[in-house]
């Protein structure tokens, strides 16, 4: 046991370490020098190899060898030999910068074992290196669907969201990563940079200072210097508050109409692949403005559609029709917020407003078009109801699971509940107005 002591010290574990504790210690330290996170740092790669060697030696000495030891799976069990071999081959290709081949092997490993979280994470990292930000977001959604406690998934989600131009959404992801791992120095660093982009200098400085402290404690002098350079640049490039305020106002005024009408085609026909990237590209304020605009379009569509059904809405005044059109939106917004509070899911009022507005677009279009195609008989209405109704349900599900980061199980339960309550409130309001 004495010859293992240097390896125990390197991984900062005791001689009676359990397999789970050993794995956690390895991951915690490997994150600070992983080649994927430090591609241009040979010292980091060498340190990662030392940690890997220590982990392998301790594992072989203390625990029975297993051909698949060291891989994480959703159910905590060991993986298949075929999946392990494909994973190892993909890792080798990634090290050789054969990223296309690596992705293919990780994909085959996942097909062999759909709960192989390490393979998902590796594939996510490769997509990040390639600059495929939308692919990274899709990978993170899959990982979090299997296990919503994977801090690295939230970290890469934040990196991708920031690359797509949504600093607020990135900050939410980094915050989730930090809540799961308070020693995640890279998450502190990049949350600080995101906050700096939002001109939140005080919070940015706090995050960057914390990152520097963690990097120093973890023996990462290069990263400490990197953070110190950012802090020094902050001191040299401070601008007056009035200048920042004017610039923000100019940015807010630019292209709101363009954002409203260019974002709809991005997700309307493909909610699963388009809703999250669309939201991630918007700031929190702009996402709120766009979501409210969607709601306004939905209310307008409802009021116009009500005029096409004079018998049904004959006793409902114009003002009451606007209230009826707005009821589903406000109901969905507050119910989304309530669901997030109950299960303690990450999200914001901006995401709730955006999701609710997007969900109602197909429904308002359905009601408006139904009044126009009723002349073609019930068949035309049924076809429209089928396609646009399904689109709306899928929109809400994707919003809950991807944008608000609800687990698939929670989203599956939340979506019909939200729609049922919203429908009941709207119908109840209608009966009051029509009586």
Question: Is the same domain home to 405 and 293?
Answer: yes
Is residue 344 situated within a structural domain?
yes
pLDDT in tens, 90-133: 888 887 778 888 999 999 999 988 888 889 999 998 888 888 88
pTM > 0.75 = no
Q: Which two tokens stand for residue 332?
A: 């969905």
Single out the residue of 201, 198, 152 nearest to residue 178, CA to CA: 152
pLDDT, residue 104, reads: 92
Give domain status of residue 175, yes or no. yes
Question: pLDDT of 286-321, one tens digit each?
Answer: 888 899 999 999 998 888 888 777 777 888 888 888
> Are 389 and 419 spatial neighbours (Cβ–Cβ below 8 Å)?
no
Angle between the 349-373 and 271-280 helix axes, to the nearest 10 degrees?
140
Question: Quick one: 238 and 358 in the same domain?
Answer: no
Same domain, 197 and 304: no
pLDDT of residue 370 exceeding 90: no
Name the pLDDT band for 237 (thresholds 50, 70, 90).
low
Residue 429 scores a pLDDT above 80 = yes
The CATH number linked to 196 is 1.25.40
Structural domain includes residue 55: no
What per-residue confidence (pLDDT) applies to 387?
85
Residues 277 and 390 occupy one common structural domain: yes
Same domain, 301 and 392: yes
Give the Cβ contact number of residue 321 at 10 Å.
20
Q: How many whole angstroms separate alpha carbon 394 and alpha carbon 359?
A: 8
pLDDT value of residue 124: 92
Over 50: is that where the pLDDT of 324 sits?
yes
Do residues 354 and 219 both lie within one domain? no
More confident residue, 341 or 65: 341
pLDDT band at 265 (very low <50, low <70, confident <90, very high): confident
- Give the chain's domain count: 2
Domain boundary among 251, 274, 307: 251
Residue 329 has pLDDT above 80, yes or no: yes
User: Rounded distance, CA 32 to CA 21, Å?
Assistant: 18
Give tens-digit pLDDT for 142-193: 999 888 888 999 999 999 888 887 888 888 899 999 998 888 999 999 999 8
Residue 420, in any domain of the structure = yes
Q: Are 143 and 116 in contact (CB under 8 A)?
A: no
Residues 397, 381: one domain? yes
What is the pLDDT of the chain when averaged over all its residues?
Answer: 80
Q: What is the pLDDT of residues 145-155, one digit of tens each?
A: 888 888 999 99
In a domain, 368, yes or no: yes
Domain co-membership, 224 together with 298: no
For the segment 254-263, the average pLDDT, to the nearest whole number, is 73
Separation of alpha carbons 425 and 323, rounded Å: 12
Give the domain-ending residue among 251, 268, 302: 251
Does 183 lie in the same domain as 261?
A: no
Q: Which of 218, 251, 284 is the last residue of a domain?
A: 251
| Average pLDDT value for residue range 238-244 | 49
Query: 287 and 344: one domain?
Result: yes
Host domain of residue 200 = 165-251
Residues 81-98: tens digit of each pLDDT: 588 888 888 888 887 778
Name the 3-class secondary structure at 73: strand
Q: Are residues 191 and 260 in the same domain?
A: no
At how many degrees (to 10) do helices 284-307 and 318-343 cross? 140
Residues 382 and 365 in one domain: yes
Give a yes or no: residue 70 inside a domain.
Answer: no
């Amino acid at each position: 046991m004495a010859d293992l002591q240097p390896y125990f010290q390197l991984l900062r574990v005791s001689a009676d370490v359990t397999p789970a504790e050993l794995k956690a210690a390895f991951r915690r330290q490997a994150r600070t020098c992983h080649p994927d996170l430090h591609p241009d740092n040979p010292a980091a790669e060498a340190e990662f190899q030392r940690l890997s060697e220590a982990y392998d030696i301790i594992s072989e000495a203390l625990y029975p060898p297993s051909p698949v030891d060291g891989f994480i799976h959703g159910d905590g069990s060991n993986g298949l030999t075929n999946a392990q071999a494909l994973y190892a081959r993909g890792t080798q290709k990634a090290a050789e910068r054969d990223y296309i081949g690596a992705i293919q092997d990780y994909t085959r490993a996942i097909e062999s074992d759909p709960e192989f979280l390490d393979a998902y994470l590796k594939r996510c990292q490769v997509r990040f290196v390639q600059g495929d930000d939308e692919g990274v977001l899709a990978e993170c959604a899959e990982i979090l669907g299997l296990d919503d406690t994977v801090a690295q998934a939230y970290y890469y989600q934040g990196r991708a969201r920031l690359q797509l131009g949504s600093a607020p959404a990135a900050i939410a992801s980094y915050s989730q990563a930090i809540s799961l791992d308070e020693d995640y120095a890279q998450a502190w660093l990049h949350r600080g940079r995101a906050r700096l982009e939002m001109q939140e200098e005080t919070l940015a400085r706090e995050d960057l200072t914390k990152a520097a402290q963690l990097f120093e404690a973890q023996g990462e002098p290069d990263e400490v210097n990197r953070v110190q350079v950012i802090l020094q640049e902050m001191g040299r490039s401070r601008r007056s508050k009035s200048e920042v305020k004017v610039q923000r106002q100019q940015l807010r005024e630019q292209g709101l109409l363009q954002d409203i009408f260019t974002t709809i085609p991005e997700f309307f026909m493909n909610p699963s692949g388009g809703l999250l990237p669309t939201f991630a590209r918007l700031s929190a304020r702009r996402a709120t403005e766009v979501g409210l605009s969607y709601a306004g379009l939905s209310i307008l569509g409802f009021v116009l559609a009500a005029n096409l059904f004079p018998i049904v809405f004959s006793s409902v005044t114009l003002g009451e029709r606007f209230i009826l059109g707005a009821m589903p939106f406000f109901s969905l917004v507050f119910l989304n917020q309530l669901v997030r509070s109950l299960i303690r899911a990450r999200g914001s009022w901006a995401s709730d407003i955006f999701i609710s507005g997007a969900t109602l677009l197909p429904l308002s279009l359905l009601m408006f078009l139904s009044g126009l195609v009723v002349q073609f008989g019930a068949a035309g209405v049924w076809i429209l109801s089928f396609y646009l109704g399904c689109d709306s349900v899928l929109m809400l599900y994707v919003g809950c699971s991807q944008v608000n980061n609800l687990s698939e199980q929670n989203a599956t339960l939340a979506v019909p509940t939200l729609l049922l309550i919203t429908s009941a409130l709207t119908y109840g309001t209608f009966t009051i107005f029509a009586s």
